[in-house]
Homo-oligomer: A and B are copies of this chain.
Amino acid sequence: MKARPHVTLEDVARSANVSLATASRVLNGTASVRADLRERVSAAAAELAYAPNAHAQALAGGTHRTVGVICHDVSDPYFAAIAGGVMRVATDNGLLVMLAGTFRDPDREVAYVSTLRAQRAAAILLIGSAFEDRAWERAMAAELEPYRRGGGQVAAVSRHRGLKIDTVQPDNKGGAAALAKALVGLGHKRFAVLAGPRKLSTVVDRLAGFTDALAEHGISLHEDDVVEAAFTRDGGYDATKRLLAGRKRKLPTCVFAVTDVMAIGALTALREEGLSVPGDISVAGFDDIPVVRDLAPALTTVRLPLEELGERAMDLAIKGAGGTRPRTVRLAGEVVLRESTARPKR
């Protein structure tokens, strides 16, 4: 049995012995139809296992019930949690979610937006740090602008700069600052930071918040104290190893990883090097992805309402752009002190 053509509305109409218009009306409940005809159409549709062609529907009527979500990496718990929030709201509104992972490739990100635009998606959600790159920004704007002019909604989590779109913005700077303050309060004076690539605005903000707060307490971070690495578990792991290899003496008493995911790698690296946390060294992360409370030691971090981040972004997109200027929803983080940080012994 080879790819038999699809059952179409016409098949249903013919089988029910009515016109296309009537069949359409019955199936969509658009207008009132005589009971017996309605009956016949429903029966025929069921009989033939009719499924309307969504493309044709979209073309003709203009229903667009799918939204696109673009993030860097689906298997990163941070994005997964946010995506979860997005999906909840989307599902509640009868929207279908297309989730795309760019694997951190800027070009692929632009390509996805282009495809979503072609699909006439009802909305496009950009999740995660933007690339601080002029060319990318221009390419992105070139896709987004006509999309929105055509009626598309756009919202983002954790972006700003350049493209002027509605944004849900976690308070990276404030959160990092609060964390720094708490850590200093614990008695720490020598810090190291595991940072991601500085092209990412999130990294820049968190770093700035942290160092600024430190500076307020008269503590400065040297060049060597900031190790740059990939924004992943392995990145955190590598960065830590490099940090340790650098100078065995004069270790920092506390390490701040700009991301929980990186902190996880750091924890393992530290353990491998025979350093106990928080005994020898304290570790703190950022995000509060679900798993970090289950680590031993449980990770001190800045809690971001991840699911809510996604929900609010989806909300922004659904509610549509009210005024002319992009809206921004700010969500604060909250320092959560757990077992991975303690008073320094040195």
Q: Please, how many angstroms separate the alpha-carbon atoms of A116 and B35 in the complex?
A: 30
Say if the beta carbon of A17 comes within 8 Å of chain B.
no
With a CB–CB cut-off of 8 A, which chain B residues contact A267? Answer: 294, 296
Count identical subunits in the complex.
Answer: 2
Residue ID in chain B nearest A266 by CB atoms: B294
Residue ID in chain B nearest A85 by CB atoms: B75
Question: Are A119 and B54 touching (Cβ within 8 A)?
Answer: yes
Question: Are A77 and B77 touching (Cβ within 8 A)?
Answer: yes
Contact status of A3 and B290, CB under 8 A, knowing A75-B84, A98-B66, A296-B296 = no
Contact status of A150 and B294, CB under 8 A, knowing A54-B119, A75-B81, A118-B53 = no
Question: Are A98 and B101 touching (Cβ within 8 A)?
Answer: no
Say if the beta carbon of A129 comes within 8 Å of chain B.
no
Q: How large is the interface on A (under 10, 10 to 19, 20 to 34, 35 or more residues)?
A: 35 or more
Contact status of A99 and B74, CB under 8 A, knowing A55-B120, A267-B294, A294-B264 = yes
Q: Please, how many angstroms separate the alpha-carbon atoms of A97 and B108 in the complex?
A: 13
Query: How close is A280's CB to chain B, nearest CB, in angstroms?
Result: 14
Say if the beta carbon of A275 comes within 8 Å of chain B.
no
Q: Please, how many angstroms separate the alpha-carbon atoms of A147 and B4 in the complex?
A: 10
Question: Are A151 and B3 touching (Cβ within 8 A)?
Answer: yes
Residue ID in chain B nearest A306 by CB atoms: B75
Question: Are A7 and B290 touching (Cβ within 8 A)?
Answer: no
Question: Are B84 and A74 touching (Cβ within 8 A)?
Answer: yes
Say if the beta carbon of A56 comes within 8 Å of chain B.
yes
Chain A stretch 234-274: residues in CB contact (< 8 A) with chain B: 264-265, 267-268, 271
Residue ID in chain B nearest A108 by CB atoms: B91
A–B pairs, 5, beta carbons within 8 Å: A6-B120, A51-B147, A74-B83, A97-B100, A264-B294
User: Knowing that A54-B118, A296-B297 are A-B contacts, what are 10 other residue pairs whose CB atoms are under 8 Å apart, sorted by A's residue number?
Assistant: A49-B143, A51-B147, A53-B120, A74-B87, A74-B99, A75-B83, A96-B119, A97-B100, A267-B296, A291-B291
